[in-house]
Structure 1
Amino acid sequence: MADAAQRLQGLFTQLLGAPPPVRVRAWDGSQAGPPGAPTLVVRNRRALRRLLWKPGELGLARAWVAGDLDIEGDLYTTLDLLAGDIWERGEDARTLTQALRDPEVRAAVRGLVRLAGPPLPPAPPPEEARSPRPHLHTKRSDRRAISHHYDVGNDFYEIVLGPSMVYSCAYWKSPDGPDTTLEQAQHDKLELVCRKLGLTPGQRLLDVGCGWGSMAIHAAREHGVSVVGVTLSQEQAAYARKRVADEGLTDRIEIRVQDYRDVRDGPYDAISSIGMAEHVGADRYLEYAADLYDLLKPGGRLLNHQIARRPQRDETTYEVDPFINSYVFPGGELQPVGVTVTQLERAGFEVRDVESIREHYALTLRRWVTRLEADWKRAVQLTGPGRARVWRLYMAACAVAFERNRIGVNQVLAVRASESGESGMPLRARTWN
């Protein structure tokens, strides 16, 4: 067979109702599709079997992680084309059940089955998380999920994140950040958080989901506060403790391997939660907010930095992203920012400021992908090719999602007002800018 690409192009056109916007190169060397367009490389028939057994995003993800599929050309452009011109249109226009009522679609599926070979379901790549459904966000399951994502080796994260070791959206001074390094942008983000919290020497800060200790070190060194940082990752905690010792800040920073639900030594003057609340789960979010509220002094502030999804017209149909849930953040859930604000206020907080920094995350993710690609061989040596491919796809796809306003990220500043209603907040908003 020397026409697999042409057959695939025709079958995809039947299935999707329009020609794919990318070029296809098949395992037999044949090519088809628009000249000059990015190329989707189908390395073997197993890729088709993965799509047949798990139609949609999870099948594509498995094929990518296993190396059965690849992309030649600009990765961001290809992902944008696939997401915008094929998968979103296909999901909006027709469900799989509706599509299979079409004789042409059924014929295309039969054609794919013949082209794919023996219809045995390939085993998922070993990088796929084996988590129970639904994810109940118990302390044990959350600890396992955090370990899946973060305990892949600090050396690997050093490649991606750089010296700042901050794994959340940076804060860029200009639209494209041409004169700003990633390290400077992450420093500016940490400083922004500290200023929003109004930190002053002698205060106590709780850093929930402290990662590799960057926020704790910045707050203690630059603002003179005492910090307790909590994480569920053993590797993060060991790394953070060494950094704290190297900075000579062991008298002001304590790093714990501890669930936020087990922190009992409040009250604190301020709490930072940066890129952690996505792991909490929708059903547990009010509990999360209430726990943090109880840990604050009257007048204490919370800075909740969190990714948000766009609300749907019918929220009952919302499903967790299968690729992210299986390969990146098992049990992770995104909520609209309005839901986050409502839950914080239900817990007793007064929300004082909401700032969207969506475009900043797209810039950050592109820098991370650039760093990963620049040291690709070493990244593969440290984590294996499958895990490295997971991170490259996840970060590039998220960059496109932020750019296209499919997801956002927000800093929500909330305060625990006193019984008499005093917030301790300045009269003029945004004094930190």
Structure 2
Amino acid sequence: MRLPLALVLVATGLFAAPAQAALQIDITQGNTEPMPIAITDFLGAPGQEASAGADISTVVTNDLERSGLFRPLSKASFIEKMTDINVPPRFGDWRVINSQALVTGQVKMESDGRLRVEFRLWDVYGEQQLTGLQFFTTPDNWRRVAHLVADAIYQRLTGEQGYFDTRIVYVAESGPKNRRVKRLSIMDQDGYNPHSLTNGAELVLTPRFSPNSQEVTYLSYHNNNPRVYLLDIETGQQEVVGDFKGMTFAPRFSPDGQKVVMSLQRGGNANIYTMDLRSRQVTRLTSTAAIDTAPSYSPDGTKITFESDRGGSQQIYVMNADGSNQHRISFGQGRYATPVWSPRGDLIAFTKMISGQFVIGVMKPDGSGDRVLTEGFHNEGPTWAPNGRVLMFFRETRGAQGGPHLWSVDLTGRNERQVPTPTFASDPAWSPRIQ
């Protein structure tokens, strides 16, 4: 359930440095050394306030550390003990431990029962405040506030939007390998707050978020026939988009949320179709004797990327949104599949099968810049963070007890991490930033 949250700017003075440029990470460089940053426990009265303050500080620390761009310093190294966030810190004490940035904050319970959380971000060497925000919310929504704080810090220090206040919808898998129960599930991007959206009575596959992050399409098998559902995450209401015999890949939304694009198998071959969600009118975009599948819109909605074996092997193609100008863009070794357009529009992620390995990689929309981010026994299903800097995918492990787990990797390919889930997990889809 979405919880109420109010956000206002903190009206505090900024302490300007006379000659030093504002602190910022250049994330366009391929080999970024993580920025040392000190994140103090948020101040609060003993009890609920202090406990919430420590918890929020921990989540902010974990978010920033997982991004690979920040190196949070140990609290044991801190010299100054913060007692008032409205008083500038002793910058020299933070320079001694080589901290470039400092985060301070406090938590207070309001008389109406709301939680007030505020923080300051300081440039230690420039001796100036970079930003400060204040949030009002219900006490049980503290974790989301922590993600919003991390987003604000990330944006101020990188110049790009954060991705921490987001969710992942995925397929949770349980039971023996030959009788897996697959439930549609959702969790925060860091693996917390997981819960099921379906009961496991029917097989579910390939969930996809709508642009407003409130609805999900997914494929389910009803009486052994593929059926596409549209589920409202907040209300739990779902509707049948349609029964599609021979569907080979679940639909994805258009950027405006008015259409879905999908692959349907009719007459012995699979082609790309769109459906208008209001009129339910279906339009065919490709017409080949091959298998055209796995379509994904560009963020501006003008183009679609998809995979096809029309040239003799699985490769990636791009066409205009009306089906015109279909052309191949992948020409490297191996078979390319599951292309997904970046929210930034600058890259297309893919799965590639080569030499017995499944790799996750990216290329530019014209096919240039093809490079591998990670490889292994079985990697599949890339999905983009909303800022286009991180990918999540699932990786299958070998053996009778093996199964899929979720992983993330950034565009450098060096920051790869497993995402915790309570069961096996596959088919992740990353939400847009929560509104």
Asked which structure has the greater RCO (Cα within 8 Å, sep 6+), the reply is 1
Higher helix share: 1
Normalization by structure 2: what TM-score? 0.26
- TM-score, length of structure 1 as denominator length: 0.26
